[in-house]
Structures are given as structure tokens and as C-alpha cells.
Structure 1
């Protein structure tokens, strides 16, 4: 968890927020928001239950109140189409790389062109299928670990950043239409930390340890 010294910036923003007790209903509402002109970057949802508990020092806070707490753990919304796209790209890249490596190897072994094509294509397909499994487990780790029902019971949060009264009214109407509870508007200071940066956990050299670079 990031401490006060890890805060990079604070952003004052106006949001429409709501609580859902169904992942499907939340996804449907988010897709409706996107099709109505809201930017994907302006939609956040609550993080996993274990991350939420760590961020709040294991305090029991109702979801309706949690939505107004700046320390609540949130993450960008990722829909089914995003997950599918990432799986397709990952499988394609892995499959192509494996197929090319196998093709070069088989050519060096002086196999016939039809055999090279057949074996390398099959190898690429198998590699792509194998690569998708761990990726899917990572992206659906809450469901795999059995945390999804507990998260739905406690309440799944959604935050929608808005810049005009018209957008505020539209976002509220969409959330309510899909079964959102405790739907309301608030202004909140969002702290941007190193954990919010893309690839924040990437360590190019494992010998450097986990301390941020440049910190004594």
C-alpha cells in the first residue's frame, strides 16, 4: 500500500457513483455508459476485496459510504471486450513467435516444406492456447479464488467522472436504470500514486529489489 510520501498528485474531480450487487448488472451499466458517449478512462470500479481491505486497514465500511472515501481502492473498468482483445493479441503474438522459431528449427533440420508448415502451425496453435490459460486466470483471479460472490454481496462500486450537468444527469439515469443503489454525485480528491502508473511493478533488473529508484 502506498504511503503519503508516494502520492504523486491530487486531482479534484466530480463523479457520479453507485453500488451494484451483481457483476453482470455493473458490466451492463458500464457498457451503456460507453455507448452513450462516456470515455472509458472516466470509469472506475472497485478493486478486489482483499486489496480493498488492505487499503482501509481491514475496517468494515458499507459500500454506499465507501464510495465517498478517497482511500477506497479503485481500478479502471475492464469489460469483456477488453479481456477478449487482450487474449487475442497475446495468443496471436505467442503463437506467431513459437511458429516462426519452430519453422527455422525444422528448416535447419532439412525437413520438407509441407512438414515445416504443418508442424510449425500446429505448434503455434498449441502455444497460443497454453498462453491464454494463465492470462485468463490472472484477469479473473477474484472469480478463481472465490472472491466474486463476497464482492457482490458487499457491493461493487462504480465511479463515473463527469464534466457537465447533462453528463451528471445521464450517468445517474443509466446507473439507476440498471439497478444501481445509492446513486449520487460527489466531489472528491483522488490521490495519484506510483501504483497507478502503467507497469509500476515492472523491475527491469531483479537485483535492484523492490525499492523505487532514486530513494535512499
Structure 2
């Protein structure tokens, strides 16, 4: 992404200062994720792609209830977060499962060694603690998945999944708009300061 000083628009501010962005709403998470993957494969940094935080956090930040996601498209006061793609979610899930499993196995082995347990006693203890770790991790992952589904459903019920893409040139604008439309983006448009003449 180009530095701001080299961007192709004036210093007149738009909704988010001297930033131009492509904006779109999506009806499904699959279409939104496909658009994000396509954007990244065409040179857009993950840091240039953002989403609003959960609706309840948005409402608290802008001090009014959210009735329609479309009302947030050009609102600079809406707090944002990076898009968590499939790879990052998979990584988080793996860490959530393996970390407690590893720690409990390690604790079991240390306890067995420190207390002089026999081989079979040590095995039973370690396997039991490992199973406990897997159950705990499974509960945590299930909770995360449930919360994510509830959030996506809440956003859909408010009108769609909102995505912003920061652009640094007219060519990036053209490409971003084309990609967002290709993946069934709705209300696709640009906002920000005017282009330099």
C-alpha cells in the first residue's frame, strides 16, 4: 500500500480523513470471505481490509442503536477490526486445543515424576489429564464458534455483512470495486476525499 503522501487525492478530508475506501455489503459470509481472498490475491494487504466490531459494540461506540448496517457504511465513528480469515481462525482453534492439552500432559508427567508413581499410574494420570484438556478445549472452541455464528446472524438480520477496503490509487479503486461486485457485494461504492485534478 502506498504511503499517504503519495496517494492520488487531495488533503480534503472524507469520512475517515484523507483515506478513500471501497465499501460493500454481503448477504453471506462465504461471499464476503471469497471477496477478501480475491482482494488479497490482487495485492491488497489484510491491514487495508476491515469490518465493524460486533453490533452491540458499535451501538455503544456511536451512542445509538444500530437498525441497519447500511447506515454504518460511511460513518467514521464506527469502530473497526481486521477481517479474521479462515486460516487465522484455524490457527486460533489449533492453539486453543493444543495449548491446554500440552500444559496438562506436562503437568501430569511432572507430577508423576515428582511423586514416584509407577508406570501404569503415570500413564493413567497423564492420559486422564490429556482427556480433560481436550474436553475443556472442545468446550471453548464450541463457545467461540457459537458466538461467531450468532454475530454473523445478527449482522445479516441488520442488512448484511459490511466490508471496507482502503485504496491507495485510482487503479486500486477500480480493482477493489470490480472484486467486491464479482462476489455479490451490494451497495458497492467509494467514499473519501476527492481525487487530485
State the TM bucket, normalised to the shorter chain: 0.7 to 0.9
Per-residue CA deviation, residues 2-48 of structure 1 (Å, 9 max, x unaligned), is xxxxxxxx863221111112222112211222222221111111222
Structure 1 portions without partners, runs of 5+: 1-9, 189-216
Alignment partner for residue 66 of structure 1, among 52, 69, 72? Answer: 72
Whether 1:54 and 2:33 are equivalent positions in the alignment is no
* Cα contact 2:22–2:189 (8 A) shared by 1: yes
Q: Distance in 1 between matches of 2:66 and 2:114?
A: 63
Whether 1:148 and 2:152 are equivalent positions in the alignment is yes
* Cα contact 2:26–2:186 (8 A) shared by 1: yes
Match of 1:42 in 2: 48
Measured after TM superposition, the shift of residue 113 of structure 1 is 4.2
Q: Distance in 1 between matches of 2:155 and 2:47?
A: 23
Match of 1:174 in 2: 179
Measured after TM superposition, the shift of residue 80 of structure 1 is 2.2
Whether 1:26 and 2:32 are equivalent positions in the alignment is yes
Per-residue CA deviation, residues 49-85 of structure 1 (Å, 9 max, x unaligned), is 2222222323456433421110123221112221110
Whether 1:103 and 2:109 are equivalent positions in the alignment is yes
Deviates more, 1:126-135 or 1:172-181: 126-135
The structure-2 alpha-carbon separation of the partners of 1:115 and 1:36, relative to structure 1 and needing over 3 Å to count, comes to: farther
* Cα contact 1:43–1:159 (8 A) shared by 2: yes
Measured after TM superposition, the shift of residue 142 of structure 1 is 4.6
The structure-2 alpha-carbon separation of the partners of 1:142 and 1:52, relative to structure 1 and needing over 3 Å to count, comes to: farther
Measured after TM superposition, the shift of residue 125 of structure 1 is 4.7
Q: Distance in 2 between matches of 1:76 and 1:85?
A: 16
Aligned to 1:157, what secondary structure does the other structure show? strand
Structure 2 portions without partners, runs of 5+: 1-15
Per-residue CA deviation, residues 146-195 of structure 1 (Å, 9 max, x unaligned), is 4533311322110111112222111111110111111111127xxxxxxx
* Cα contact 1:44–1:74 (8 A) shared by 2: yes
* Cα contact 2:24–2:186 (8 A) shared by 1: yes
Aligned to 2:192, what secondary structure does the other structure show? strand
Aligned to 2:34, what secondary structure does the other structure show? helix
Match of 1:184 in 2: 189
* Cα contact 2:50–2:165 (8 A) shared by 1: yes
- Taking structure 1 as the reference length, what is the TM-score of the superposition? 0.70
- Taking structure 2 as the reference length, what is the TM-score of the superposition? 0.76
Deviates more, 1:173-182 or 1:127-136: 127-136
Aligned to 1:75, what secondary structure does the other structure show? strand
